[in-house]
Amino acid sequence: MAVLETVSRKYVEFERFNEREIRKIALPVMNTEFTVTGRLVSGIVGFTVIILVLSMSFKYAASSTDSTAIGGVNAYIAQINSTQEQILSGSGFFDEGQSLTFDVMQDSMGSDLKGIRNIGMISVQFYFESPSITDQTEPTVSIRIANGSEGVDLYTDTQSSYEHTWQYDYMINNLTSAGNITMSADSQEDFLFQLEIDGEYIFVEVVYDDSNAIFPGEDDTLDYEINITMTTWIIENINEVQTV
C-alpha cells in the first residue's frame, strides 16, 4: 500500500506541475502573450529524452561488429577459372549422298557428360572442302546439331561452297571465362550447388546433299575435319565477405 500511495502522490504532484503557469512571455510582434506551462516543459523534456535514446541506439547498431543475419544468409566471393578439353576429333572424306554422324556422350576420360555439373559450353567446329581442282560447281552440305534433351535442333544450316567452316558454341552455363563471382548462399557448399547445372550430350549430323556437278568427270569427294571441345569451370578460393 505504501508504494501505491507514493505513486499516487507523485502523480498528483506531476499533474499539479503540468497545470502551473511557469512564465508568461510577451510577443510584441503579435501583441499577445505566450504562456509557458508545466505540461509544455514536460513535453519538451520527454521529447528530448526520446531523441537522445534513439540516437544512442542507432549509433550502437552502426558500430556493432555482429554479422549474424536474419536467416543466416551470407555473401561469398570466389575466383572462377576455365579449362578446355577436346572430347572428339576426326577427319576424312565423304561422298555425295553420304551422312556423317557424331554422337558425343562422354568426355575424354569416359565420364557421362550429363553427370558433369560444371560444363560451361560445348563447342563444335566442322570444316569441309573440295580437294579437286576439276570441280566446276559448289557442292551443297547441311549440318544439324542437337543435344537429345530439348526435343528440337540446337542449330541447322546449309551451305553451297567449295569450302566452309561451321562453328557453334552450345552454352550450358555462362561461367566460361576467368574472373570473380559474388553471390549470397547459406554456406560454401550451397554456393557451389547454386552454380552447378547438369551437363548435356551433343549430336552432330552432316549430310552431303548434292555435288551439283555438271560434267561426269568431276570429283565429288569432299574432305572434312571435326573438332568438339568442352569448356569447364573451376571454383577457387571461396571466401565469405559479408552477411546480407
How far is it, in rounded angstroms, from Cα 244 to Cα 242? 6
**The amino acid at 15:** E
How far is it, in rounded angstroms, from Cα 30 to Cα 21? 20
| Predicted model pTM | 0.66
Q: Which of 86-90, 169-173, 188-192, 222-226 has the lowest mean pLDDT?
A: 188-192
pLDDT at 151: 64
pLDDT at 76: 86
pLDDT band at 236 (very low <50, low <70, confident <90, very high): confident
Contacts of 6 (CB under 8 A, 6+ apart): none
**Which of 130, 129, 133, 137 is CA-nearest to residue 214?**
137
Q: Count how many domains the chain has.
A: 2
pLDDT at 60: 39
Mean per-residue pLDDT for 81-93?
95
Q: Which of 111-125, 132-146, 171-185 has the lowest mean pLDDT?
A: 171-185
Residue 111 and residue 198 share a domain: yes
Residue 116 lies in a domain: yes
pLDDT band at 29 (very low <50, low <70, confident <90, very high): low
Helix/strand/coil (H/E/C) assignment for every residue in 52-78 = HHHHHHHHHHHHCCCCCCCCCCEEEEE
Residue 105 lies in a domain: yes
Residue 241 lies in a domain: no
pLDDT at 121: 95
pLDDT at 67: 33
**Which residue range is the domain that position 44 belongs to?**
2-63
